[in-house]
Structure 1
């Protein structure tokens, strides 16, 4: 099975969690694009969506799916999103698409977080994929110096500005044995908006497309 087929199957499998009348939280990325296609086939079933990025908002609106603001909807029953890496405990690295902060907000506001990935994203220990950290622009160098102390090599994702107007540092060379502790520690650095570790609010369900 190709990675693309794995993404498509995982996205389709997530549809079984979508119930009539729901407002569905929708993530960002290539796997989520397949989920949006599947959601469009049942758009009459759902009330609306809450989107984690301008990119996903465009895709949803192009398919005639209503998009609402999280401040209007309150708690969500379901959030569906992809990941860049997933460990055996459903802890994730996210942020390859630079939408990590809004993704983390929607995940925190949702009762159930379903993560859809192709099988290649499963790892024993997080860290092979560079860990994204969203930072306030004026704090880029300050945060980078602090991140070096964790044993990683932070690299500015030059030319990328998040939907929130911030910058991304990608931290290479980490082996993240304790994602929960590292998430907390990095979030304490002044100038960090959020880190792309989803451990405090990890996925409740992970679908890889391998399920029958």
Structure 2
């Protein structure tokens, strides 16, 4: 295990320690979220009763393999707690970029429906301003060329994501992903609103939830960034 893996595990275990018996837990996607899922599975094996609401088919498959019971929105429309990772966290505002794993739409649906959201990261994901890496956008396949042209005219410089075989990457919902190298994002809320007005853009990787908490693993242990209401 690398030092970075150890940090992720420490933060994930701190988040999973907050899961209580009987909860419906949103199960995030990505490497850190999978680390949290392994920690949750260990507690389930020890007798914890939960139902997991997965944000991707990959997460659902792993949960089944680990013995974590699953549910859906028809039965449990309001998860008690969602645990997920992030690609970038703007420490001052708690604005996030997510979706570089390709599950941004489902991740946002589950997070927005949840009573609490715990984001688990190591300190390499903290940034002074979002836009260090690309901003993912989930895009409808129909007319995607027109959508990408519109985005390009906005200065977004979209690049259609490719799978390992060179074909367009397709999300669990059957959509495409355009990665945009934005550079520093001065107004995440304003940019998100403009992007969502582009026909064919289904969702953005900008996560601007009104209340969430971030658990950060550092070389000195874990720390918590308070939600916006506590600032």
Tell me which interval the TM-score lies in, with the shorter structure as reference length. over 0.9
Matches within 5 A, 1:1-212: 2-43=3-44, 44-88=47-91, 89-158=93-162, 159=167, 160-199=169-208, 201=209, 204-210=212-218, 211=222
Higher relative CO (Cα under 8 Å, sequence separation at least 6) belongs to: 1
* Whole-angstrom distance in 1 between the partners of 2:129 and 2:150: 22
- TM-score, with length taken from structure 1: 0.94
Cα deviation, 1:112-152, whole Å, max 9, x if unaligned, reads 11000111111001111100000111232222222224432
Which TM-score applies when normalising by structure 2?
0.87
- Aligned-pair distance for 1:90? 1.0
Instruction: Report if aligned partners of 1:151, 1:174 keep a CA contact under 8 Å in 2.
Output: no
Residue range with higher mean Cα deviation, 79-88 or 166-175: 166-175
Q: Displacement, 1:97?
A: 0.8
The alpha-carbon distance between structure 1 residues 203 and 161, as it changes in their structure 2 partners (threshold 3 A), is: farther
Q: CA deviation at 1:203?
A: 5.8
Distance in structure 1 (CA, Å) of the matches to 2:119 and 2:65: 23
Q: Residues 175 and 143 (structure 1 numbering): CA distance in 2 closer, same or farther, change over 3 Å? A: farther
Q: How many residue pairs end up in the alignment?
A: 211
Runs (5+) with no aligned partner, structure 2: 224-231
1:47 is displaced (CA, Å) by 2.5
| Bigger Rg over Cα | 2
CA RMSD after TM alignment: 1.5
| Cα distance in 1 between the residues matched to 2:189 and 2:179 | 18
Q: Distance in 1 between matches of 2:94 and 2:129?
A: 11
- Shift of the 11–40 alpha-carbon distance from structure 1 to 2, 3 Å rule, reads same
Asked if 2 retains the 8 angstrom alpha-carbon contact of 1:152 and 1:174, the reply is no
Can you give the 5+ residue segments of structure 1 that lack an aligned partner in the other structure? none
Q: Is the deviation greater in 74-83 or in 139-148?
A: 139-148
